[in-house]
Amino acid sequence: MSDTLLWYTTRGAGAVSLILLSGVVVLGVLSALRVQSAGWPKFLTTGLHRNIALMAMVFLALHIVTAIVDPFTHLGWLTAVVPFSSYYRTLWLGLGTIAFELLVAIVATSLVRGLIGQGAWRAVHWLAYASWPVAVIHGFGTGTDALSGWFMVLSIVCVGSVAVAVVYRLGQGSADPLASARSDFRARVARRPDR
Amino acid sequence: MTGLRLLAGPDLASGAESDANHSRRLGAPKLSGRALIEALASSGLTGRGGGSFPVGTKWRAVAAASKGSPVVVVNGAEGEPQSHKDRVLMSTRPHLVLDGAFLAAHTLRAREVIVYIGEEHRAARAAMDRALAERTESERRIARMVGAPQRYVAGESRAAVHLIEAGVATPTTAPPRSHERGVAGAPTLVQNVETLAHVALIARYGDAWFRSAGRRGAAGTLLITVAGGVKRPGVLEVEAGTTIEEAVAMADGPSGPASAVLIGGYFGAWVAAAKAWELPLDAAALKTEGFNLGCGVVGVLPAGRCGVCDTARIMRYLAEESSAQCGPCFFGLRALSDACSRIAERGANRDEIARLKRWVVEVPGRGACRHPDGAVMFLRSALATFADEFAAHPAHWRQQPA
């Protein structure tokens, strides 16, 4: 494989990963809101969320492997797992490593959700809100294309969609329609102090 | 008003029987331990809180469970709105209940006895409190009182365990059942107060004596609450197998023509009066007919009272009593209740009835506890018994007092 091709692949796979991961975050937020309509059943949101997440892992793997095997960078395999171990753009690459490892934790716990239980899975899944912004910063900081017009537009669209989804979710209050009824009921069947 | 066995002895109007009186009248229990469990098993005694589970089987399960020393929960929550028998028993024969509780504790080597009584059953709580103070030091040391919140689900055994454990009386999923893993993970015997009172007598007189009462093949006696259109509503002790007609006659008969009877309370079933009169008050016999004895409520619906409106009122109550833990129960019962209310308010509507019939099969079996199942069973019996009334209901919505 030619060196130039490797380099282009790294950049392209990085950009595709950004698009896919932003889509995954938006769909995750929407599934928590239980968005549905006649043409869009709830399982479509969760199904897309899951499958696009797995697809993003493939492009991320491509992004990372091509970057490491690129003979001009000499990053070394350690860079992929140990944050801030790279001689080259130490901070920005380190952020990429962190974002990737958080993502691996999220995907791994999702695959064994039945074993670890809903509570632990959910706790780890919250890391998505750390992983995605760190990945975006990594892209801006280290990206060869960060200042090019197409990447700017792409980034604005991705960050904008996630921001809109999150703000919309926060405005909706609790997504669980049972939650308020349940907490009311629990308050009414709570033990009063023993006499 | 006195009864046959549990309510035999001094006049009930004179209040709680003292320990001295109780001991003089009945003597000390003779059976305990393994022999008591065997006697309970062969007596045929079943739980009187609504589940009608064989008592001997439950005690055997707790005795066989090896994990930790067991806990006994004396269930006097009595959340069923029409039932009064548990609080009458606790208010008048508290020592019979406590005898049964401490026999259970002794037999099962329990480390704790928790007396769980409905918070608003003030007279019953006071009587049980006073009776507990009269017990021996070793008994008092392992006993404590816990108030049950006044909600329908609070008396369900896992809800009782959850209140004692976590301070919130919401049902949790079963299995594990309470007798496998209950309070602090220990096997927990949750037993209704009437059941424990029967235990106290079986420990004195044996299983053959228990079976010597009972008609039409049923064993023992039971407490029932006769409510609604009878001349003297209240709590009665009857022989198991007594027909509803005989029980109503003991309440001085119906106050007028009756159209239907609600058997077993709000988780029970409406039965057309003509059929209901013949039914025996016995858990096993009712079960073969497709009904539940429940906690022994016999609610007589006078001919002038609207069964559809009563059904709508009770469905609204049961929907509001959903603990909102499971969607099918919370949303399902609410939808069923709303449809009933619309029929009651705006009159019969073929679409609403079709919808009710479609929905009642979709709700049961989908909750953590059996609350939705009980409510749906009640509604199905109403749709069958009051089929004509539902089909021709005027838009009147009579707010009849419960």
B207, B218: one domain: no
- Asked whether residue B5 is assigned to any structural domain, the reply reads no
CATH code where residue B135 lies: 3.40.50.11540
B134, B183: one domain: yes
Beta-carbon separation of B147 and A186 below 8 A: no
Residue A195 has pLDDT above 50, yes or no: no
B175, B231: one domain: no
What is the rounded average pLDDT of the residues A46-59? 94
Domains held by chain B: number: 3
Please tell me the predicted confidence (pLDDT) of residue B399. Answer: 66
Decide which of B287, B302, B317 is a domain's last residue. B302
B182, B235: one domain: no
Taking alpha carbons only, the member of B17, B51, B237 closest to residue B128 is B17
Nearest CA-CA distance, residue A39 and chain B, Å? 23
Q: Is the pTM of this model over 0.80?
A: no
CATH code where residue A81 lies: 1.20.120
B24, B154: one domain: yes
- Asked whether residue B1 is assigned to any structural domain, the reply reads no
Beta-carbon separation of A178 and B327 below 8 A: yes
| Domain carrying residue A124 | 3-188
Please tell me the predicted confidence (pLDDT) of residue A160. Answer: 96
Looking at the partner chain, which of B146, B154, B327 has a beta carbon nearest the beta carbon of A189?
B154
Q: Are B393 and B347 in contact (CB under 8 A)?
A: yes
Tens-place pLDDT, residues A122-153: 999 999 999 999 999 998 887 677 778 888 89
B92, B222: one domain: no
Please tell me the predicted confidence (pLDDT) of residue B165. Answer: 87
Chain A hits for B169, Cβ within 8 Å = 189-191
* A186 CB within 8 Å of a chain B CB: yes
Report ipTM for this prediction.
Answer: 0.75
B22, B67: one domain: yes
Beta-carbon separation of B153 and A192 below 8 A: no
- Asked whether residue A193 is assigned to any structural domain, the reply reads no
Tens-place pLDDT, residues A82-112: 888 777 778 888 999 999 999 999 999 999 9
Beta-carbon separation of A191 and B167 below 8 A: yes
A190, closest residue in chain B (CA to CA): B168
Mean pLDDT of residues grouped by 10 in chain B (402 residues)?
84 94 96 96 95 94 85 96 96 98 96 96 97 97 94 91 88 80 90 98 97 95 96 96 97 96 95 96 94 95 94 95 89 94 93 92 84 94 96 82 62
B89, B207: one domain: yes
> Rounded to whole angstroms, how far apart are CA atoms B393 and B269?
20
Residues for chain A: how many in total? 195
CATH code where residue B347 lies: 1.20.1440.230
Residue B35's contacts (CB-CB under 8 Å, 6 or more residues apart) are: none
Instruction: Encode chain B in three state secondary structure.
Output: CCCCCCCCCCCHHHCCCCHHHHHHHHCCCCCCHHHHHHHHHHHCCECCCCCCCEHHHHHHHHHHCCCCCCEEEEEECCCCCCCCHHHHHHHHCHHHHHHHHHHHHHHCCCCEEEEEEECCCHHHHHHHHHHHHCCCHHHHHHEEEEEECCCHHHHCHHHHHHHHHHCECCCCCCCCCCCCCCHHHCCEEEEEHHHHHHHHHHHHHCHHHHHHCCCCCCCCEEEEEEEECECCCEEEEEECCCEHHHHHHHCCCECCCEEEEEECHHHCEEEEHHHHCCCECCHHHHHHCCCCCCCCEEEEEECCCCHHHHHHHHHHHHHHCCCCCCHHHHHHHHHHHHHHHHHHHHCCCHHHHHHHHHHCCCCCCCCCCCHHHHHHHHHHHHHHHCHHHHHCCCCCCCCCCC
Q: Are B367 and B326 in contact (CB under 8 A)?
A: yes
B236, B256: one domain: yes
Beta-carbon separation of B323 and A182 below 8 A: yes
Q: Kindly state the tokens that stand for A158.
A: 């991705």
Decide which of B193, B211, B229 is a domain's last residue. B211
B26, B92: one domain: yes
Nearest CA-CA distance, residue B325 and chain A, Å? 6
Please tell me the predicted confidence (pLDDT) of residue A175. Answer: 59
Please tell me the predicted confidence (pLDDT) of residue A140. Answer: 85
Domains held by chain A: number: 1
| Domain carrying residue B178 | 12-211
Please tell me the predicted confidence (pLDDT) of residue A117. Answer: 80
Looking at the partner chain, which of B146, B159, B324 has a beta carbon nearest the beta carbon of A194?
B146
> Rounded to whole angstroms, how far apart are CA atoms B315 and B337?
5
B174, B34: one domain: yes
Residue A35 has pLDDT above 80, yes or no: no
Nearest CA-CA distance, residue B132 and chain A, Å? 15
B243, B176: one domain: no
Please tell me the predicted confidence (pLDDT) of residue B402. Answer: 59
Chain A hits for B331, Cβ within 8 Å = 177
Looking at the partner chain, which of B119, B159, B324 has a beta carbon nearest the beta carbon of A178?
B324
Decide which of B211, B242, B269 is a domain's last residue. B211
* A118 CB within 8 Å of a chain B CB: no
